Amino acid sequence: MAPRRAPRGFFMGRSKREKQLNRKGNLHPDGLPRAGARGPARGDFMVFSAYPFLLVFLPLTLVGFYALRAAGRRRMSVNFLLAASFVFYGAWSLPHLALLIASILANYCCGRYVASSAPKERRRLAMLAGVVGNLGLVFWFKYLDFAGSNLAALAGADWTFRNIVLPLGISFFTFQQIAYLVDCYRTRDGERRFRDYALFVTFFPQLIAGPIVHHRYARPQFAALASERLNADWIPYGVMIFAMGLAKKTLIADPIARAIDPLWAAAATGDPLGAAAAWTAMVGYTLQIYFDFSGYCDMAIGLGLMVGVRLPVNFNSPYRAKSIIDFWRRWHMTLSAFLRDYVYIPLGGNKGGAFFRLRNIFLTMLIGGVWHGAAWTFVIWGAIHASLITLNHAGRLWLPELDRWRGPVADAVKRAALLGAVMIAWVYFRADGVSAAHAVLRGLIAPAAGYAPDPYVLALMAFGAALALFAPNSLEVAGYVEAPERPIPHECAHGARMLRPTPMAAAATAILLAAGLAVAWRPAVFIYFNF
């Protein structure tokens, strides 16, 4: 069934932006959004690496925020930060801003009741209603087309589904609010100030793609913003970390993306790929998504520090992991924690013996895969990771001698095997469809077919691989510690003095910012903005 073009509407419709997405490989050839791709948006200029954000929104926000604080209006500065966050999201889509505000109001009221002195059963029903409402919202915007189209195919029906535009960041702000409601039920400690709750949800450095922040983590920080002086040492650290993230995004991730996107587009149209093209596409995307997401996480942390808020670490050199379990302790760490606390444990966690434990692990990781997007490619990607992590846990249970195999050779073998499996899984994550993924995988063992990668791209990929596999990450370099109650040290956890706010560090930061700005005229949306 080929769905007909939908009429334009409040949350629906097509635009010139979709044609642009199609040229970038984010749409299927029939015009439907690629799995995980968002719909048309007006606010790409608010990407952290875009000139309007860097040269207009961010400076105005910082000037307004600190001007109010200098005038002794600390509470007003928090209100200003909330208003700036609404402006940030509204720049992407005004209708979706209305949806976000409605979601905040509904969850705030629900949380107040769930944390009240009402009978436990009523509080539980209210919590469940809130969770179901949030999941229903995500299902409507993210999964309705996918579910309906597959049901229609099974039934042999000719149903027409409207192309519902995915609100930016809906998976993040709804999951964050689900965690808040569950925590309100467990602790009976909800947020009384609507302003602080709204800022907890909309704080612009983490609104679109995380990290997923717990209310108990953000609450004392926003309260401190309204009543205490900021630590001035945080600002240069924030700029340093932001500059490193900007460089990762604009100098590594985006150039690699521009080089490999035509290869993925060719696979989507059925063109056979030779070995050189297929390996370039797979390895290139493995590095692109690493530096794209790592760069975003650095920039989010840096932006938070600039206004006195410390966000949790969400990325910690996952390609240096030696097992798939360790990988998920390093990749999208707050999502892994969310899945553990609000999916794995409610499913039963470790209770019931080895079989049920492994079943719960598999289901949790499969849900994590589907969370990323409504497409069979994400189901397969999730199933691959679910199978790997289940086998890893099973091996620890029944073959403990594998864990005792250590040393340089063992570490190299483990890391190589893990990277190979992760790269194959990334093929499904990136591909426009299952057939496109299989075209790339077949190409890995095909003849070269005349494709010659650009030497500059190969050199950039080699440099990126060296950074990802062997170099300290940016948070290790900066000595970042995420606990809000702890000051940022001048030393890393291992004790090496790496980066101080010195003239040399300032010069390095200025060079990274200048280099990032020099190529920011072609900003690309972060990959995780699509989820």
Choice among 96, 332, 372, 393 that is catalytic? 372
Instruction: Indicate the average pLDDT of the chain.
Output: 86
Residue 243 CB neighbour total at 10 angstroms:
24
Question: For residues 388 and 396, what is the distance between their CA atoms, to the nearest angstrom?
Answer: 12
pLDDT at residue number 3: 34
Active site residue 438: no
Question: For residues 129 and 108, what is the distance between their CA atoms, to the nearest angstrom?
Answer: 13
Q: What are phi and psi of 315, to 5 degrees?
A: -155, 125
Q: SS3 string of 158-223?
A: CCCCCCECCCCCHHHHHHHHHHHHHHHHHHCCCCCCHHHHHHHHHCCCCCCCCCCCCHHHHHHHHH
Tokens 């010659």, located at residue: 452
Q: Is the pLDDT of residue 418 over 90?
A: yes
Per DSSP, the three-state class of 33 is strand
Q: How far is CA 229 from the centre of its chain?
A: 31
Q: Is the pLDDT of residue 161 over 70?
A: no
Percent of the chain residues topping a pLDDT of 90:
66
Total residue length of the chain: 531
Cβ atoms 58, 91 nearer than 8 A: no
For residue 211, say if its preceding peptide bond is cis, omega within 30 degrees of 0.
yes
Residues 6 or more apart whose Cβ sits within 8 Å of residue 152: 1, 158, 159, 161
2-17 pLDDT, tens digit per residue, is 333 333 332 333 333 3
Q: Please say whether the dihedral angle defined by the alpha carbons of residues 320, 322, 323 and 326, taken in this order, is positive or negative.
A: negative
What count of Cα atoms within 13 Å lies in the side-chain half-sphere of residue 281? 32
Tokens 């587009």, located at residue: 265
272-320 pLDDT, tens digit per residue, is 899 999 999 999 999 999 999 999 999 999 999 999 999 999 999 999 9
Question: For residues 98 and 68, what is the distance between their CA atoms, to the nearest angstrom?
Answer: 27
Residue 121, classified by CB atoms within 10 Å of its CB into exposed (0-12), middle (13-18) or buried (19+), is exposed
CA dist 499 → 233, 320, 472, 488, 491 (Å): 13, 22, 12, 11, 7
Q: What are phi and psi of 164, to 5 degrees?
A: -80, 125
462-480 pLDDT, tens digit per residue, is 999 999 999 999 988 888 8
Question: For residues 440 and 393, what is the distance between their CA atoms, to the nearest angstrom?
Answer: 30
Cβ atoms 185, 112 nearer than 8 A: no
Q: At 399, which helix (H) or strand (E)?
A: none
Question: For residues 119 and 132, what is the distance between their CA atoms, to the nearest angstrom?
Answer: 20
Q: Is the pLDDT of residue 126 over 60?
A: yes
Q: Is the pLDDT of residue 419 over 70?
A: yes
Grade residue 489 by pLDDT with cuts at 50, 70 and 90.
very low
The answer to pTM > 0.95 is no
Question: For residues 461 and 459, what is the distance between their CA atoms, to the nearest angstrom?
Answer: 5
Alpha helices of 399-502 — where are they, by DSSP H? 408-430, 434-443, 455-470, 474-478
Q: How far is CA 412 from the centre of its chain?
A: 28
Q: How far is CA 441 from the centre of its chain?
A: 25
CA nearest to 245, candidates 302, 207, 285: 302
CA dihedral 449, 452, 458, 459 (to 10 degrees): 150
Of 399 and 280, more confident: 280
Tokens 């899945």, located at residue: 339
For residue 400, say if its preceding peptide bond is cis, omega within 30 degrees of 0.
no
506-529 pLDDT, tens digit per residue, is 898 999 999 999 988 777 889 998
> What is residue 13's DSSP assignment?
-
Give the pair of three-digit tokens for residue 182: 């569950």
Question: For residues 382 and 364, what is the distance between their CA atoms, to the nearest angstrom?
Answer: 9
